[in-house]
Amino acid sequence: MSCILSALYFIVGLVLLKLVLIWVFFKEDIRAAKKRDPAARNPLEILLLYQGLHALIAHRIAHFFYKAHMFFLARLISQFSRWMTGIEIHPGATIGNRFFIDHGMGVVIGETAIVGDDVLLYQGVTLGGTGLEKGKRHPTIGNNVVVGTGAKILGNITVGDNSYIGANAVVIRDVPANSTVVGVPGRITKQDGKKIDISLDHIHILDPIMQSIEELEKRIEKLEKG
Ligand SMILES: CC(C)(COP(=O)(O)OP(=O)(O)OC[C@H]1O[C@@H](n2cnc3c(N)ncnc32)[C@H](O)[C@@H]1OP(=O)(O)O)[C@@H](O)C(=O)NCCC(=O)NCCS
């Protein structure tokens, strides 16, 4: 009986030690989660139940081994984390401070992606490549960027600081700082707090089909007005 009790105390002690260590090393990330998720009640809940935080902790460990050229172990940790959390972060990806993935499921972050500080990603976001090229082939995300649910940011492009990528946008070109981007392909609708009239924004119109649709919409509107 006393043997079982000792084992139990030992396990509880280990779990508490683990929680304390996570708090010590990840308190900034836990606070970021608390700040950015209105549903988060307290740090303990985040620590125990937020898969975005768990994926980040696993990534920090995997990245350490990746840097030490222990690629198999790094990949093993990242695959285990993917299995547990539904979030796949390649161990080679560079992730800044106070990073938070809300909800998480289906997030994919590629090997050469670089993510700045204070970045928030929602579920279903991909920071991916566009082909089979080698070298830097994934995006660089600036500081204080929010990437909405389902958005895809593809290729070796840069998203400037303080930008907001709308839900389900597909971004394939550089995004200047302080921009809001929506749609497929992603187009800037706001910059430095000012709304951009898409019809006058020739630089960021990328898709000829979209252009034709916009033309047609204008003509229909004109006809309807008589
Ligand atoms: C892009 C976003 C940040 C809105 O930014 P905003 O600057 O406030 O934009 P507005 O609401 O003024 O919309 C500007 C235009 O973009 C359109 N738009 C907004 N979000 C869009 C989106 N995700 N996809 C396509 N178009 C979008 C609006 O309809 C509007 O079009 P209009 O000018 O023709 O009327 C927001 O819509 C968004 O996508 N947030 C993501 C939130 C998210 O992922 N939450 C997950 C919670 S689980």
**Per-residue pLDDT tens listing for the chain (226 residues):** 778 888 888 888 888 887 888 877 788 888 888 888 888 888 888 888 999 999 999 999 999 999 999 999 999 999 999 999 999 999 999 999 999 999 989 999 999 999 999 999 999 999 999 877 888 999 999 999 999 999 999 999 999 999 999 999 999 999 999 999 999 999 999 888 888 766 555 555 556 677 788 889 999 998 998 7
Same domain, 77 and 129: no
Measured from CB, residues less than 6 Å from any atom of ligand 1 are 103, 122, 148-149, 164, 166-168, 180, 182-183, 189-190
Residue 86 lies in a domain: yes
Residue 137 lies in a domain: yes
Domain count within the chain? 2
Same domain, 186 and 197: yes
Same domain, 88 and 121: no
Distance of CA 111 to the CA centre of its chain: 13
Type and span of the H or E element at 128: strand 126-128
Asked if residues 175 and 168 have their Cβ atoms less than 8 Å apart, the reply is no
pTM score: 0.83
Burial of 99 from C-beta contacts in 10 A (0-12 / 13-18 / 19+): buried
Asked if residues 141 and 127 have their Cβ atoms less than 8 Å apart, the reply is yes
Which tokens sit at 165?
């990528």
For 194, phi then psi, to 5°, come to: -105, 140
Residue with tokens 């696993």: 58
Residue 66 structural domain: 51-92
Name which residue sits closest to atom 3 of ligand 1, judged by CA: 166
Report the CATH number that the domain containing residue 188 is assigned in CATH. Answer: 2.160.10.10
What are the pLDDT digits (tens) for 41-55? 888 888 889 999 999
Same domain, 101 and 194: yes
State the distance from the centre of ligand 1 to the C-alpha of 22, rounded, in angstroms. Answer: 36
Collect all residues with Cβ–Cβ distance below 8 Å to 90 and sequence separation of at least 6: 78, 109, 110, 111, 113
CA distance 142 to 120: 11
